[in-house]
Amino acid sequence: MKNKYLILTFKDAELFRTHKGTKDRIFDIGETRERDGFYKEPITQNQISNMIHALFNERPVPTLRTCLYDKNNYLYNKAGESYLKYTNIYTYLTKNGEKRTIKEKKRIKRALYNSWEPAIYPNWNLLYRYVTKKHFDWFVSSLNNIMGGDVQKEKFSDVITNLRKMVIDNNIKTKKEELIYNGECNLSILMKGLQDRKLSTITRLLQENGKIRYSHLTSSINKTAITVSSAIDDVEVYSGEIIVPINDEDIKKLKEESKGIATILDGGLVLIKEIIDEDFVDLDGFIKVKDISMEYIKIKR
């Protein structure tokens, strides 16, 4: 039986090298430490193995961090038997005769170490932008009926704090004892109105304890936004092809479980191009992955 090969293409795989004096950190189990170096080669068997893991719907295994589960040795060995070719790698020689890769400039945003975003309190203007005029007018009118006055004369955070207390007090009481304010609009009507208008974020804002933060109005999932810094950095960008040996069982798993795409390095999109027989494989310009150097360069700080 002839062997088959999976032809993959990847594009715009970005590599940020660690530089002396930077605070590029690794968040590991039980500790946070500075990254101490990088692989000499941009893509090694480790990176290709993780890409193949993802392609075959298996968990990738971190290379430089502690992991509670082991890699799939079958897929790791398959990565070693694969072939890699870059299609856009450009190099130059330094004055000392050293061969280096031409880098691109890129604007980046990276989280600052231990720099949490301070509380940013929403105001009426921010609320107006979030819920639009149509819902804003209804919301303010409902609040006026409940609070018995013009709520916009007060700070939004103060209004929410007082209203939240009413929500808590109201939830303690039975339905028969439900509080009604000014005989017009009770809290149940307000909460249901928010849900009907798909403003569940505001509903959660009224029900939560603690300070009101900007993230409560902008994200329904991540409530701990962190400060990011914008800067210009050097990045190496790679595109190319990877040829992976496969058998019938591999093809079956790819058809049944694979999404057909994966990533490599930082944001490099990997796509399945085709599956071909060994008679049609052209390995010109390719290097066997297990022959790629795994040398790890330590940074002297």
Once rounded to an integer, what is the mean pLDDT over residues 17-36?
70
- Res. 54: pLDDT tops 50: yes
- Res. 7: pLDDT tops 90: yes
Query: What digits encode the pLDDT tens for the residues 139-191?
Result: 888 888 877 789 898 888 788 778 777 666 655 443 433 444 444 446 667 77
d(CA 252, CA 56): 10
Q: How confident is the model at residue 218 (pLDDT cuts 50, 70, 90)?
A: very low
Q: How confident is the model at residue 44 (pLDDT cuts 50, 70, 90)?
A: very high
d(CA 231, CA 300): 24
> Residue 21: what pLDDT?
60
- Three-point CA angle 54, 59, 65, nearest 5°: 110
> Residue 102: what pLDDT?
78
> Residue 19: what pLDDT?
66
- Cα 57 versus chain centre, distance: 18
d(CA 230, CA 64): 26
> Residue 207: what pLDDT?
59
Mean residue pLDDT of the chain comes to 77
Instruction: Name the percent of the chain lying above pLDDT 70.
Output: 73
Strand runs labelled E in the chain: 4-15, 25-28, 31-34, 37-39, 83-86, 91-93, 99-101, 104-116, 180-181, 185-186, 226-246, 261-264, 268-277, 287-288, 296-298
- Res. 75: pLDDT tops 70: yes
- Res. 103: pLDDT tops 60: yes
d(CA 15, CA 264): 10
The domain locations on the chain are: 4-110+234-298, 124-224
Query: What digits encode the pLDDT tens for the residues 259-275?
Result: 888 999 988 999 999 99
> Residue 74: what pLDDT?
95
Q: What is the pTM of this model?
A: 0.59
Once rounded to an integer, what is the mean pLDDT over residues 26-49?
82
The answer for residues whose C-beta is within 8 angstroms of residue 238's C-beta and 6 or more apart is 10, 13, 14, 15, 42, 43, 86, 88, 89, 265, 268
Higher pLDDT, 21 or 213: 21
